[in-house]
Structure 1
Amino acid sequence: MKSEHAQVAEQLEINPKEIFMVYGLSDASGDYQIAFLEKIFNIKNKDTTNNSIEAIAFRADHGGNLIHWSIKDERKSENEETNIWFWTKYCSFKDLDGDNRIDPIIVYGSKDGNGYKRIKIITIYKNKKYVIRAIESEMDLGRHFIQDKEINVLPLTIRKYLHSLLEAIRKGQGVLLKSG
């Protein structure tokens, strides 16, 4: 695992310590990798907090790397967020619409002193990003749930998967994922 991380870090010209996870994928478009990077802010009592995250989908191409897409975010100090990280148990790398191409779904969240703050679910479909954004709050007016309008044009199988994913996150993380 560490040797793979070192190789990916060298390919992407990044610090290998920032690599949290690497997924090797193969579909009708070919072989590629997705690297999850988490920039560590602090380690205290074996608990790691991160300043920022990044996901990069890339393919080795003629001695270089062809980046297909990337996602970046960071903890928001104005929201008093203390940590941001990938929720890998909810991420998915499956062909959801039957076209022999993987439809990645990336999930991550942030926390503040009171618990979960922001949750994002990003679906990459035909090289376009579709995002569901949620802000959790103890106060009704502080709670928001917004999804891109274009999500409604995604194939039904992907929309059904997203619906079941939202239910799994609600149940598994004890969040509301709704406005008001």
Structure 2
Amino acid sequence: MPRRLLVLAAFVLFAASSHGQKAEMPAEKNACPANAPFLSADALKKAGVEFPVFKRYCYADKSGSHALVLGEKQDTPFSGELLSSAIQASLFKVGSDGALTRQWSIRDFAGKADAGINFRSKLVELADLDADGLIEPILVYRFFAPDDEGGFSSSDFSGGIKIITFHQGRKVAIHAITGQLDGERRTTANANFFALPKPARQYLVRKMAGMYSARQFGFDNSYGFMPQEERGAR
């Protein structure tokens, strides 16, 4: 069997097995097969991925096989951590011939007051938020505040964080800013969050509560970790 077809067949078997797993799983467990030809540097460049690839996740649901690609510009080095000025995430549907069809893509940028930005890969998930047989990848990325010594602060009560997912083609965005004082912490979400089915909203709220308990980020817990409606477009 030609190498291209052999690797593609391995992906199909991998994706089929993941389809039978739990409705939610850490994305780290779904790393794409090594040397998958449909995710080569040339293939991803043609598909519109511009930044260095940080992570690649493969999975299948009732709509087919998919590849989630995370890219980071990786242009802001610090001691012990490589941050970026910009990040990119793209979800592709993988055809039977290995062709990539983009389903959605996002970009985000560190602000002028940020030391940098990066994905929190251990917090990225693949979840079926409303039990409809379709997986919604949940992205998490952190905005780091600078410290007083020319570096950045990794405290869970500094900087900001975003949680992004897509439900039925609509982008759901949660944006949280934290601080040492209660009045400095704020969590907001766009209108698409509040339009989610109740179980999906509850899942994301539980995720934030879990991150708070694990000291991964200091969310505002004034409303039981429920985001407030953002004012204006973000």
TM-score tier (shorter): 0.7 to 0.9
In structure 2, the partner of 1:163 is 205
In structure 1, the partner of 2:63 is 29
In structure 2, the partner of 1:70 is 105
Preserved CA contact (<8 Å) 1:84 1:109:
yes
TM norm structure 2: 0.66
Q: 1:122 aligns with which of 155, 164, 180?
A: 164
Q: Deviations over 1:82-133 (max 9, x none)?
A: 1211112222112121111102211111101243312111121111111111
In structure 2, the partner of 1:113 is 146
Between Structure 1 and Structure 2, the one with more strand by share is 1
How many aligned positions are there? 177
Is 2:207 the counterpart of 1:175? Answer: no
Structure 2 vs 1, CA of residues 42 and 147 (structure 1 numbering), >3 Å: closer, same or farther? Answer: closer
Q: 1:137 aligns with which of 159, 176, 179?
A: 179
Deviation at 1:22, TM superposition (A): 0.3
Q: Distance in 2 between matches of 1:71 and 1:54?
A: 6
Structure 2 vs 1, CA of residues 178 and 76 (structure 1 numbering), >3 Å: closer, same or farther? Answer: farther
Instruction: Give 5+ residue unaligned stretches, structure 2.
Output: 1-32, 148-152, 223-234
Task: Give secondary structure in 2 for the equivalent of 1:76.
Answer: coil
The 10-residue stretch of structure 1 (113-122 or 4-13) with the greater mean CA deviation from structure 2: 4-13
Q: How does 1:50-69 map to 2 (within 5 A)?
A: 50-61=84-95, 64-69=99-104
Structure 2 vs 1, CA of residues 16 and 138 (structure 1 numbering), >3 Å: closer, same or farther? Answer: same
Structure 2 vs 1, CA of residues 174 and 40 (structure 1 numbering), >3 Å: closer, same or farther? Answer: closer
Q: In angstroms, what is the RMSD of aligned CA positions?
A: 2.7
Q: Distance in 2 between matches of 1:144 and 1:17?
A: 30
In structure 1, the partner of 2:42 is 10
Q: 2:117 aligns with which of 68, 81, 84?
A: 84
Q: 1:95 aligns with which of 84, 108, 128?
A: 128
Deviation at 1:71, TM superposition (A): 1.4
Whichever of the two has the greater Rg, that structure is 2
Task: Give secondary structure in 1 for the equivalent of 2:87.
Answer: strand
